[in-house]
Amino acid sequence: MKVLLLSSPVVQPDFDRIARIPNYGLVSIAGNVDDLCTVDVADLHGVKRPREYLEGILRNGYDLVGLSCMSFQYHAVLPLAKMAKESGAATVFGGYHPTLNYDEIGESPEGRLSDYIVRGEGEATFRELIEAIDDGRDLAGVRGLSYWGGDKMVHNPPRPVLDVSDIELPNRDCRLITKGFQSFGIPIDSVETSRGCTNGCKFCSIQQMYGRSFRRYPFDRILDDIRDAEAHGARSIFFPDDNMTLDVKRMERLCDAIVEAGLSHLKYKVQASARGIGSSRRLVQKMAASGFDGVFLGIENTSRDNLRFLGKGKMSDNADKAIEYMHDNEIIVSAGLIGGNPEDDAEDLWSNFELARKLKVDIPIFYINTPYPKTEMREELKEMGLIACDDYRFYDGLHANLNTKYLTAEEVQYITWEMNAKYYDLSWFRYNKIKRVYPKWFLRETLRLVPFYAKRKLGLLLGLKTPRDYFREDLERGELCKGVA
């Protein structure tokens, strides 16, 4: 059997300029089925014309084509699935959106574009699917699989979460697209050290994927994975773990292991909780010594009431200490703050801006509360009547899909757009760590953006454009983190 695994081509343009990262899940699945079939992986967000590219490689004659996507990417995989089926291949959907919305997909007009849906972790379910097809076995025994039985999609019982020690290393040799993946101009790849999170954030989809679990890979496997990523050209590593700092002592030991293995020359980046990072100055010192130079921190909000609504509890505590520790160790801090919550007015949105400024965050991401499918929060927001948009194309955390009790979704969007431009002023230019850690990238981006903002200022000065005109232009392009400086 010949298998092709595809990522969605859709990305958020503003983030893509900072980091374009290849899909780890697909090469992990490839590494767990490559003894059964010939498998290729294509990260379609790495090419300029994904449909034309796919049309070319489908001529290789694949038997099975898998497509992975999140909710805001789902619309883009449908025409790709149609192309795959027209080439004679069977199709499999997987990833967050198909896992959460498998029943909705099965009942939708486009449901027939997917012959199978792999729900949850794909390594074991996809392997058993290939074995069953090869052997002509009944699919009823493949847990975590949905498939067509006549005119109705059958949903087998879910598969328990995997023992991560049973998961084989990813197969990066399967990648057809190997160029163009970078962070701050440095070639990057992903390595997983754990799966899952035990926290109860109501806006998060992780619980629907893994339940409240936290499973740790053995250190030897992690180090082998890092070495393999470096052997394939990576000079920077992103850890996509759901909550890598949930176990602070383990994180410290992993940093020590990276140093002892002679791998601290690489640049490491991670997403982490403010509580975990802020709980230990020693942890941050060890992170810096082992090569960490970038952390995405989930601060979420300034309001205790909003934090309770988001299900964060005290998880955002110690944000000030976390950022202080990281800046003392020359680590770039990106922080997520979520606005557009039910009780938010304009002042509440701007309070997130002021917090980011006070803490001297290097890259603030002013997220907008999003009613992701099947989350606890979506049901609450639906009962409140605040959901303004059910179009999943805009469920990327940067588009406003909710009204608050005091603001329309468009007002939330506009204020957030204003915040993005106002943040990057001369004060930010002086204190940010990016210019010290990645000076070449910083200079290049500065030279790109200065003319952009100068042209906008001139347009405003001459009365050719209004801020609302530029807002609508950016909204149409999907570049929501610019604004008018």
The pLDDT, as a whole number, for residue 315 is 45
Cβ atoms of 229 and 189 closer than 8 Å: yes
Give CA–CA dist 343/305, Å, rounded.
9
Q: What is the pTM of this model?
A: 0.93
Q: Where are the domains of the chain?
A: 2-155, 182-439, 446-477
Which ranges of the chain have pLDDT less than 70?
A: 300-317, 485
The pLDDT, as a whole number, for residue 344 is 93
DSSP 3-state of 188: strand
The pLDDT, as a whole number, for residue 317 is 61
Q: For residue 457, what is the enclosing H or E element?
A: helix 439-461
Distances (CA, A) of 463 to 203, 245, 310, 469: 42, 50, 42, 11
Q: How far is CA 39 from the centre of its chain?
A: 24
* Helix ranges, 201-295 (H): 206-210, 219-231, 248-260, 274-278, 281-290
Please provide the CATH number assigned to the domain covering 2-155: 3.40.50.2300
**Would the CATH topology of 2-155 be identical to that of 182-439?**
no
**Burial of 179 (C-beta count, 10 Å sphere; 0-12/13-18/19+):** exposed
- Which is it for the CA torsion 318, 324, 328, 330, positive or negative? positive
Q: What is the side-by-side order of every strand in the sheet holding 19-20?
A: 19-20, 182-183, 186-190, 236-239, 267-273, 292-300, 332-339, 363-368
CATH topology of domain 182-439: pyruvate-formate lyase- activating enzyme (3.80.30)
The number of beta carbons lying within 10 Å of the beta carbon of residue 68 is 23
Give CA–CA dist 412/422, Å, rounded.
16
Locate 92 and state its tokens: 């499999």
Own/partner pairs, 431-438, CB within 8 angstroms, 24+ separation: 431/360, 432/360, 432/362, 433/327, 433/330, 433/331, 433/332, 433/333, 433/362, 434/184, 434/332, 434/362, 434/363, 436/330, 437/184, 437/293, 437/294, 437/330, 437/332, 438/184, 438/185, 438/186
The pLDDT, as a whole number, for residue 319 is 85
Tell me the per-residue pLDDT of 312-328, one tens digit each, with 9 for 90 and over: 555 456 888 999 999 99
At 36, the amino acid letter reads: L
Cβ atoms of 400 and 371 closer than 8 Å: no
